[in-house]
Each structure stands twice: as C-alpha cells, then as structure tokens.
Amino acid sequence: MDLDRLDTDLLALLVEDARRSYADLGARVGLSASAVKRRVDRLREGGAITGFTARLDPGALGWTVEGYVELFCRVSTPPEAIRAAVARFPEVVDASTVSGDADAVLRILAADMRHFERVLEQIGAQPFVARTKSVLVLSPLLRRPAQPPSAERNDPAR
C-alpha cells in the first residue's frame, strides 16, 4: 500500500493514541474530520491498519515472568504446524519462525517461574520439538509499537 505523508502522520498519531477523534486527528494534520475518516477507512481496507487495541502492562496483570524461547524442531516442520501448536497456550504472546539455528522464537508471559516451567515443558512435549533454549527477561529496556516508515526515521544522518 502506498502511503503519503498525511497517511504516515495519521498512523503515527493513531499508534500513539488510537482513541483520538477524527476531529482531533484532523486538527493535527490539517484535514477535516470527514477527510480523516475517509483516509482511516482506506488504511483499514488496504490492510495498513488491522485493528485498534489497548496496550497492557503485563506486570500489572500478574504476569511477573517473561522469557524468550528458541524452538528447535526434530524434522522440517511447516510454520502453520508450529503456529497451531503454540497458539493453544495463552502464555505465548508472540511467535515467529526465524533464520539461524532455531526454527522459531516464542515470547512467553507467566505468573511465576513455576508457571513458566510448566508451559515450557508442555511446549517441549510437542511431537515435533527436539529441544528448547530459553532466556528470561530481567528488565525490558524498550517497548514500542510498530510505526509507519517515514523519511525522517529512515535518514541515517539522524
């Protein structure tokens, strides 16, 4: 999807606060509320916006342990099979196939270390899993949602 400067500005504002009104968005980018609505509708239809959501603090919800788990498969396992297996665990909040030695990387949130261990054992018991390797997060250093690409952010001189 081709994005112009107004589209990227609108997307950045929505990522910052998706509850902004069309009137507020319009005032910030110099468009009428109806013009903003048309653009947002076009961005949704084009797939740039896939939904609107709230960002939550895992710690405030009782998830005190966070870890990244590398998954090593016994045999060539299709990504859909890995996705189907790990999607059953609500503790798996992100999963991606990756390049390198591991076949996939999972981000897991758990209530405590015992809970993390139980989830890790259940994932490791999947028939296609040869082994796992995990690391625990001590302190998250940077968390931010994806932003639309822009000339300023992609300028190496910045």
Kindly report, residue by residue over 80-94, the tens digit of the pLDDT: 999 999 999 999 999
Whose structure tokens read 């998706």? 18
Instruction: Report whether 109 contacts 66 (CB < 8 A).
Output: yes
The string of pLDDT tens digits covering residues 9-20 is 999 999 999 999
Q: What is the Cα–Cα distance from 139 to 136, expressed in whole angstroms? A: 9
Q: Taking the mean position of all CA atoms in its chain, how far away is CA 51?
A: 12
- Between the CA of residue 148 and those of 16, 22, 60, 64, what are the distances in Å? 12, 19, 28, 31
For the chain, the average pLDDT equals 92
Q: What is the Cα–Cα distance from 106 to 73, expressed in whole angstroms? A: 13
- Number of H helices and number of E strands within the chain? 6, 4
Q: What is the Cα–Cα distance from 49 to 35, expressed in whole angstroms? A: 17
Question: Of 128, 133, 27, which is closest to residue 85 (Cα–Cα)?
Answer: 128
Task: Output the pLDDT for position 150.
Answer: 67
Domains of the chain: 5-54 (1.10.10.10), 58-136 (3.30.70.920)
